[in-house]
Amino acid sequence: MAQQGQRTSTALADDLFDKYVLPKAALAIILAASLAGTAVSLRLSGDWSLLAAGATWLYLVALGVLTGGLLWKHGFVRPADLETGADEYCAQMYGRYDRFAAASLAVVLAAGVAVLWRYRSAGIDPLLVGSLGASLLVLGAAGSAQVARSQPVDRQFRHPLGVLALAAAVAAVALTAAAEVALRSGSLAAVAVRALHLLSFSVWVGGAVWNIFAAVPTGQEYPTPEVVRAAGEQLERFRWAVRFVIPTILFTGLYQAVDGLGVAAATYVGSLLGLAVLSKLGLIGVLFAIFKLCPMWRACSPIDGVCDLAHADDGADTADSETTATTTTTGEADD
């Protein structure tokens, strides 16, 4: 009876204070920071309106989900993962992401029309606007074709259509950065910094969506040692990418702030635009804290063993204990 009461108390504590809320909170913070950044960018370009800000933000988020998700699909997930017996896990994970990709493609193409119209109306070089439009069309065609195709999972890894879609997405991000800077008649250095900023954001937001809505739910359905190992390896590859993404977002954000507003402290604390910049920097700081806390607290994934992959090589006994714990956890709670 005492043991049952202890299990009930533990389950109640987990329900009230879910450790995996940290990655979910990180995604919400990423979206909030990107909204603030979009508003600041439009203000600096002198092309501000709620409609333009909303369309641009939706466009950038959807493009980021596609770019980061395609990078995960063809980079963080590897063909070697199938050799661990996790092929069904990978197939289900791909299927989940494809549904998000289809929705993101629709948003990118719809919001992209408004964004392209804004660039063209502002007098941006027609060649630049046309190149961006062409990259979006290639992304839409290649991405839609891959989502519509039904293939065995081992043939989906780095399929030419998927690689083409990823290349088109990266090109679209870079060309969008060039168009945004052109609105302010910025330099080539400003274009490079803006492109790095948007690409880093894309890697993070796309990876976060993949991990939370594709990898984790699928991993909970297949709580085996093979899946724990595959999921842990994928997550660790993403975490290595984030180690570079966080400082890149921070320093490119600082560069853009100084380039647009200068270095006077009064500008940042005495204006709504400056406060928006400071709020975005603060949100990035919170993201860094979450990134450091997740593995320390074993909160990077609710799948037992994924956050502590280093112990997976200790032997078969460890793998068996992880499987038992994961099965028990998955049976008791669905998140």
Q: What are the pLDDT digits (tens) for 128-177?
A: 999 999 999 999 999 888 877 767 676 777 788 888 999 999 999 999 99
Mean pLDDT over residues 14-20, rounded? 45
Per-residue pLDDT at 201 exceeds 50: yes
Q: How confident is the model at residue 2 (pLDDT cuts 50, 70, 90)?
A: very low
User: Is 8 inside a domain boundary?
Assistant: no
Per-residue pLDDT at 179 exceeds 50: yes
Mean pLDDT over residues 228-237, rounded? 79
The DSSP code sequence of 293-332 is HHHHTT-S-SSTTGGGGGGGGS-HHHHHHHHHHHHHHHHH
Per-residue pLDDT at 287 exceeds 50: yes
Distance CA 292, CA 332 (A): 28
Summarize the chain as % helix, strand, coil (round to 5): 85, 0, 15
Per-residue pLDDT at 6 exceeds 70: no
Q: In terms of residue numbers, what domain contains 288?
A: 18-332
- Give residue-wise pLDDT tens across range 34-85: 787 777 777 777 666 778 888 899 999 999 999 999 988 888 887 777 777 7
Mean pLDDT over residues 233-258, rounded? 81
User: Is 10 inside a domain boundary?
Assistant: no
User: Is 298 inside a domain boundary?
Assistant: yes
User: Is 183 inside a domain boundary?
Assistant: yes
- In b/e form, how buried is each residue of 48-76, taking b as 16+ CB within 10 angstroms? eeeebbebbbbbbbbbbbbbbbbbbbbbb
User: Is 283 inside a domain boundary?
Assistant: yes
User: Is 256 inside a domain boundary?
Assistant: yes
**pLDDT score at 235:** 77
- 81 neighbors 154 (Cβ within 8 angstroms): no
* Top-ranked range on mean pLDDT: pick from 1-15, 32-46, 196-210: 196-210
- 125 neighbors 172 (Cβ within 8 angstroms): no
Helix (H) or strand (E) holding 112: helix 87-121
How many structural domains does the chain have? 1
Distance CA 335, CA 332 (A): 9
CB atoms under 10 Å from CB of 106, counted, come to 13
Distance CA 206, CA 189 (A): 26
Query: Comparing 267 with 259, which gets the higher pLDDT?
Result: 259
